């Protein structure tokens, strides 16, 4: 009996938690409804965080061992915890500038646009430029572009330019056209179109893609202070919505300088995975200086060149293999020259630089797949600095079904934006016809073909809210629950897939899958904590779900009331 007791007590001792061996955590989150985004251990209750890393994932009791004298214990009261959400395609300063200039998001009609414009013009100084962005005419009655003559009614003297939400078109007034010296005889620039009145042949005010530059270069440049403020405002909005990283789809070294300054002063905490535009001077600089990886405690990485190969579907700038169904005289246009692209792709492979290319139309997608394939063949893996370069196609919106398997075959990542599908469902059928909708916004077909599909918002093209994107991915219906005939509901994804679209898959697309994207020991402590369980609630309730806390690098950077 005595021997048995001794054995038992030895056994008990060995079963006792090795309290002194466990370091105390900085924060312990308990009573959470935790989704880890790991297939073999999908759920947990509690998380312990030390410095910037996750040190424990499991039960409340297990996490309790990490509670020391200085540990902050956060009771989540059953709130849902997800790996920190990443927006795989956003334009950060655009999001900030949307807050700073005339914000035309949600404009319901031409009259609505004109009254918002009038209010702004009334406050402007004589001759001062009025700029804004965010209108989209597809819900208006009738759904037609505004004209310069419309704008002239409320702004006869102040020059005005107002970007369509997608950024691929803008309307300017006559005063702006006069300053830019655009008239009937002005030729279309490469990659753009000055839209004309069908009867008179006069420019009607709409400028598509590169043609916007004719007016935009007359607008006084934004100051460095404005640009910094835009980044700060954009970051503030992003972390309040629960984004922990954004992948900034294009820009310049000026942006990078601003990020560095704001990181150094502690003004921003959001992770930014930044691309610079190419071909051109910014791409050349990245190719010669090499990538920036994980600066500011894994917050800033720059290793990607962003190429734009066509326009957008709404403004009929997307390059299609066959003409638009509702405008048989046009099939859109490519916006990059193959002879400028080719040497850059070769250099990128040799130097270990990622390339991501905006491609909306089926022609643009085929074009870039062809160009990528040629470059990948020309530079075999043994001659590349990064053997698997993880090149991306941004949007991959309308893809000929025969081209879908080519992504997996070539190791190309389609980076897609669910909200585009629920915004475009009102005009895509007329632009494309029923046949081409097969292969449009084809998320599930892509996933089944063997690729990962990182999800993004493309804000400020779209609103840039994680709950809208998650909802759009799983519902494939508009925000009222409406869909339309021929909209391929089978291309909606499961909730588990949608979770990966905003967590593990963006991490993979950024070469960061070992560092972040899931909730597991050793990974960076990025968490998005929500007011409801978006993995189980009815679809429409996802849109009502709020971010209650955002954690980046183990630091609570946003806490809702």
The sign of the CA dihedral 288, 230, 479, 423 is negative
Mutual orientation of helices 281-289 and 338-351 as an angle, nearest 10°? Answer: 20
Edge-first strand order for the sheet with 72-75 is 53-58, 46-50, 27-30, 72-75
Residue with smaller CB distance to Zn ion, 249 or 353: 249
Task: Output 412 or 551, the one with its CB closest to Zn ion.
Answer: 412
- Indicate the residue among 92 and 249 with the shorter CB distance to Zn ion: 249
If the CB atoms of residues 360 and 547 are measured against Zn ion, the closer one turns out to be: 360
CB of 456 to Zn ion, least distance (A): 8
Angstrom distance (rounded) from CA 134 to CA 116: 12
Nearer to Zn ion, 25 or 398 (CB): 398
Are 463 and 105 spatial neighbours (Cβ–Cβ below 8 Å)?
yes
Name the minimum Å distance from CB 395 to Zn ion.
8
Distance CA 379, CA 28 (A): 48
Nearer to Zn ion by Cβ, of 249 and 258: the residue is 249
Q: x-or-dash pattern for Zn ion, window 203-242, by CB under 5 A? A: ----------------------------------------
Question: Shortest approach of Zn ion to residue 192 CB, angstroms?
Answer: 17
Nearest distance in Å: CB 367, Zn ion: 18
Which region among 69-77, 79-87, 450-458, 515-523 touches Zn ion (by CB under 5 A)?
Answer: 450-458
Are 445 and 438 in contact, with CB atoms under 8 Å apart? no
- Nearest distance, CB of residue 454 and Zn ion, angstroms: 13
- Min dist CB 443 to Zn ion, Å, is 17
Query: Which residue, 310 or 458, has its beta carbon nearer to Zn ion?
Result: 458
Stretch that binds Zn ion, among 359-367, 420-428, 453-461, 478-486 (CB under 5 A): 453-461
Q: CB nearer to Zn ion: give 26 or 255.
A: 255
Of 76 and 312, nearer to Zn ion (C-beta) is 312
Sheet containing 160-164: which strands, arranged edge to edge? 102-103, 130-135, 160-164, 169-172, 203-209, 192-196
Q: Examine residue 458 and tell whether it contacts Zn ion (CB under 5 A).
A: yes
Helices (H), 174-298: 174-180, 212-216, 224-241, 253-264, 281-289, 295-298
CA dihedral sign of residues 40, 43, 44, 49: positive
The 8-class DSSP code of residue 275 comes to E
Q: Give phi and psi for 140, each to the nearest 5.
A: -75, 160
Mask of contacts with Zn ion, 153-192, x by CB under 5 A? ----------------------------------------
Q: Are 273 and 294 in contact (CB under 8 A)?
A: no
* Contact characters 137-156, Zn ion, x per CB under 5 A: --------------------
| Closer of 249 and 557 to Zn ion (Cβ) | 249
CB of 472 to Zn ion, least distance (A): 16
Q: Which residue has the tokens 């394939």?
A: 373
CB of 143 to Zn ion, least distance (A): 23
Write out the E strands in 51-191: 53-58, 72-75, 80-83, 85-90, 102-103, 130-135, 160-164, 169-172
Shortest approach of Zn ion to residue 304 CB, angstroms?
13
Number of residues that bind Zn ion (CB under 5 A): 2
DSSP 227: H
C-beta of 249 vs 510, nearer to Zn ion: 249
- Looking at beta carbons only, is 313 or 376 nearer to Zn ion? 313
Window 237-256: residues binding Zn ion (CB under 5 A):
249
Binding segment (CB under 5 A) for Zn ion, from list 103-111, 284-292, 406-414, 451-459:
451-459
Binding mask 408-447 for Zn ion (x = CB under 5 A): ----------------------------------------
SS3 185: coil
Q: Which of 282, 237, 235, 244 is nearest to 262 (CA)?
A: 235
Determine, following the binding rule CB under 5 A, whether residue 462 of this chain makes contact with Zn ion. Answer: no
C-beta of 92: minimal distance to Zn ion in Å? 11
- The owner of tokens 């599908």 is 421
Q: For the CB of residue 506, give the shortest distance to Zn ion in the complex, in Å.
A: 15
Q: Are the CB atoms for 246 and 87 separated by under 8 Å?
A: yes
In terms of CB distance, is 101 or 158 closer to Zn ion?
101
Residue with tokens 């962003």: 306
By CB under 5 A, is residue 87 in contact with Zn ion?
A: no
Q: What is the secondary structure of 365-425 as a DSSP string?
A: HHHHHHHHHHHHHHS-GGG-SSSS---EEEE--B--GGGHHHHHHHTPEEEB-HHHHHHHT
Q: In the bound complex, what is the minimum distance in angstroms from residue 209's beta carbon to Zn ion?
A: 13
Burial of 232 (0-12, 13-18, 19+ CB in 10 A): middle
Spatial neighbors of 437 by CB under 8 A, at least 6 apart, are 428, 429, 486, 487, 488
Question: Shortest distance, CB of residue 357 to Zn ion, whole angstroms?
Answer: 11
* Residues at the interface with Zn ion (CB under 5 A): 249, 458
């Amino acid at each position: 009996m005595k021997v048995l007791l001794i054995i038992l007590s030895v056994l008990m001792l060995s079963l006792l938690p090795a309290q002194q061996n466990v370091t105390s955590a900085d924060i312990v989150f308990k009573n959470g409804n935790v989704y880890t985004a790991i297939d073999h251990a999908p759920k947990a209750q509690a998380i312990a965080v030390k410095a910037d890393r996750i040190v424990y994932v499991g039960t409340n009791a297990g996490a309790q061992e990490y509670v020391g004298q200085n540990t902050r214990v956060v009771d989540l009261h059953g709130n849902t915890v997800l790996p920190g959400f990443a927006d795989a395609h956003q334009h950060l300063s655009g999001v900030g500038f949307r807050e700073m200039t005339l914000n035309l998001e949600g404009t319901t009609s031409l009259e609505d646009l004109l009254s918002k414009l009038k209010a702004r013009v009334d406050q402007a100084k004589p001759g001062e430029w009025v700029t804004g962005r965010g209108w989209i005419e597809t819900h208006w009655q009738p759904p037609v572009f505004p004209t310069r003559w419309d704008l002239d009614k409320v702004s006869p003297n102040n020059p005005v330019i107002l970007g369509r939400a997608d950024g691929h078109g803008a309307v300017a007034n006559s005063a702006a056209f006069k300053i830019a010296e655009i008239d009937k005889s002005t030729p279309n620039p490469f990659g753009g179109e000055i839209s004309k009145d069908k009867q008179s042949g006069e420019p009607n005010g709409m400028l598509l893609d590169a043609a916007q530059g004719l007016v935009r270069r007359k607008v006084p440049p934004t100051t460095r202070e404005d640009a910094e403020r835009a980044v700060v405002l954009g970051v503030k909005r992003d972390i309040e919505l629960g984004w922990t990283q954004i992948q900034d789809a294009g820009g310049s070294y000026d942006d990078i300088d601003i990020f560095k300054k704001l990181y150094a002063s502690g003004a921003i905490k959001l992770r930014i995975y930044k691309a610079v535009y190419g071909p051109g001077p910014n791409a050349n600089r990245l190719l010669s200086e090499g990538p920036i990886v994980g600066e500011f405690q894994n917050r800033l990485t720059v290793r990607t060149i962003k190429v734009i190969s066509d326009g957008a579907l709404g403004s009929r700038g997307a390059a299609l293999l066959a003409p638009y169904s509702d405008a048989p005289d046009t099939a859109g246009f490519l916006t990059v020259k193959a002879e400028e692209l080719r040497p850059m792709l070769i250099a990128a492979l040799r130097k270990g630089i990622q390339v991501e290319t905006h491609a909306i139309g089926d022609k643009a997608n085929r074009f870039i797949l062809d160009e990528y394939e040629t470059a990948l063949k020309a530079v075999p893996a043994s001659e590349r600095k990064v053997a698997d370069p993880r090149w991306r196609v941004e949007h991959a919106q309308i893809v000929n079904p025969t081209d879908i398997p080519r992504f997996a075959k070539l190791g190309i990542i389609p980076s897609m934006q669910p909200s585009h599908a629920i915004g475009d469902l009102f005009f895509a059928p007329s632009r494309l016809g029923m046949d081409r909708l097969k292969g449009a916004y084809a998320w599930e077909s892509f996933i089944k073909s063997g690729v990962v599909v990182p999800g993004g918002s493309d804000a400020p093209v779209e609103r840039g809210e994680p709950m809208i994107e998650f909802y759009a991915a799983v519902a494939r219906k508009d925000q009222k629950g409406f869909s339309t005939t021929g909209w391929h509901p089978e291309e909606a994804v499961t909730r588990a897939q949608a979770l990966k679209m905003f967590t593990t898959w963006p991490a993979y697309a950024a070469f960061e899958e070992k560092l972040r994207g899931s909730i597991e020991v050793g990974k960076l402590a990025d968490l998005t904590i929500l007011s409801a369980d978006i993995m189980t609630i009815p679809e429409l309730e996802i849109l009502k779900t709020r971010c209650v806390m955002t954690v980046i690098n183990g630091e609570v950077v946003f806490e809702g009331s």
